[in-house]
Amino acid sequence: SAVISQKPSRDICQRGTSLTIQCQVDSQVTMMFWYRQQPGQSLTLIATANQGSEATYESGFVIDKFPISRPNLTFSTLTVSNMSPEDSSIYLCSVGGQGAHEKLFFGSGTQLSVL
């Protein structure tokens, strides 16, 4: 199992600003995943953060808007840049269990509201 500490838990931000979300895992993991959950919707994968290389972004998500850092095997950050009200969502980090896509463990989420 993995315990993930994610912060901040929530924030209210002004349009045009940026917010950096941090995730700390209590064990070393190869891949960390960043998801977005828009209000009342399901989870959409933003990117996979790999230690020592650039993150892999899913279709519709770009590095300029969602830069990711992965300085070591236990930590990652996601920045939401130049925010607009459409970025209001819950952002979640997660790590895999035995296999990369088996039994994901999630952080508690960051509820972002952009005014």
Query: Considering the rule CB under 8 A, would residue 107 count as an interface residue with other proteins?
Result: yes
**Smallest separation (angstroms) from other proteins to the CB of 106:** 4
Q: Which span sits near other proteins by CB under 8 A: 14-22, 62-70, 72-80, 106-114?
A: 106-114
Query: Considering the rule CB under 8 A, would residue 48 count as an interface residue with other proteins?
Result: yes
Contact 43, 33 (CB under 8 A): no
DSSP state of 86: G
- Residue 41 makes CB contacts below 8 A (sequence gap 6+) with none
Give the C-alpha separation, 28 to 64, whole Å: 27
**Smallest separation (angstroms) from other proteins to the CB of 83:** 19
**Smallest separation (angstroms) from other proteins to the CB of 107:** 5
Query: Considering the rule CB under 8 A, would residue 2 count as an interface residue with other proteins?
Result: no
Give the C-alpha separation, 21 to 1, whole Å: 22
Contact 52, 28 (CB under 8 A): no
Query: Considering the rule CB under 8 A, would residue 57 count as an interface residue with other proteins?
Result: no
Q: Write out the residues near other proteins by the rule CB under 8 A.
A: 4, 6, 33, 37, 41-45, 48, 58, 90, 92, 94, 97, 101-109, 111
